[in-house]
Amino acid sequence: MSKTEASIRHLVFDLGGVLVDFRGVASLATRLRIAPALMAEQWLKSESVRAYERGATDTETFINSVIAEFGQGLTDQELREQMRGWLPGPLPGALDLLRDLAAAGISHSCLSNTNTFHWREMQSWHLDRTFAHSFLSHELRMVKPDPEIFEHVSQTLELPPSSIAFFDDHPTNVAAARAFGLTAIQTTSPHACRSWLGANALL
């Protein structure tokens, strides 16, 4: 048994970019003519986005705030239409991975910066059927990469951070999770998650 296999007791997955096809950042980057990596960083730090994903504002306020913050001719109607297409569906292999984890008796949860609008859509795909916990920013009133959200996960699971494997696509979130003590892995697909789990004899 490897050191990683012996120490990991729970898996936590980000949703957008790991299990779910999230196109919001890429779509806005193209529309606003901003480099995707820069847009992703601005999105993570945006007060408009953080407030929405903490559940502190409604969709109408979010739309107005994003237009005010990023501007460049973006209209209310255009942003509304974009938002409806930001989540096309689960990434290939996501539902199979979650089913295989459940069949193997491997405890797992999700941790996502999201909102009521998009979480309702994801629930329609039954992504949450196998999760022990759904740690959602808009319900917790906390967002990644703030350390308090990782502390909440650790306390809720009643596990030390090092025994939690956390998969996220954004390097800032991964770095923050590692700083808190989680075993954090940057991945961008269910296949990448499965490969890491296999390499560490966890699945």
- Residue 3, pLDDT > 60, answer no
- Residue 2, pLDDT > 60, answer no
According to the model, what pLDDT value does residue 13 have?
98
- Residue 147, pLDDT > 90, answer yes
pLDDT confidence bin for 10, thresholds 50/70/90: very high
According to the model, what pLDDT value does residue 5 have?
52
Domain boundaries, the chain: 3-21+88-199, 24-84
Which has more pLDDT, 29 or 97?
Answer: 97
Q: How large is the average pLDDT for residues 178-201?
A: 97
- Which top CATH class is 3-21+88-199? alpha beta
Residues 18, 191: Cα–Cα separation, whole Å = 9
**How confident is the model over 51-90, as pLDDT tens digits?**
999 999 998 998 899 888 887 788 888 888 888 888 999 9
Q: What is the pTM of this model?
A: 0.90
SS3 state of residue 167 = strand
According to the model, what pLDDT value does residue 166 have?
98
**How confident is the model over 27-44, as pLDDT tens digits?**
888 888 889 888 888 888
SS3 state of residue 90 = strand
pLDDT confidence bin for 105, thresholds 50/70/90: very high
Residues 138, 129: Cα–Cα separation, whole Å = 19
Among the listed residues 20, 40, 22, 23, the one whose alpha carbon sits nearest the alpha carbon of residue 190: 20
According to the model, what pLDDT value does residue 138 have?
95
Q: Is the peptide bond before 190 cis (omega within 30 degrees of 0)?
A: no
Burial 44-73 (b: 16+ CB within 10 A, else e): bebebbbebbbbebeeeebbebbbeebeee
**How confident is the model over 115-143, as pLDDT tens digits?**
988 999 899 999 899 999 999 999 999 99
According to the model, what pLDDT value does residue 1 have?
42
pLDDT confidence bin for 23, thresholds 50/70/90: confident
**Per-residue tokens: 150:** 């990782």
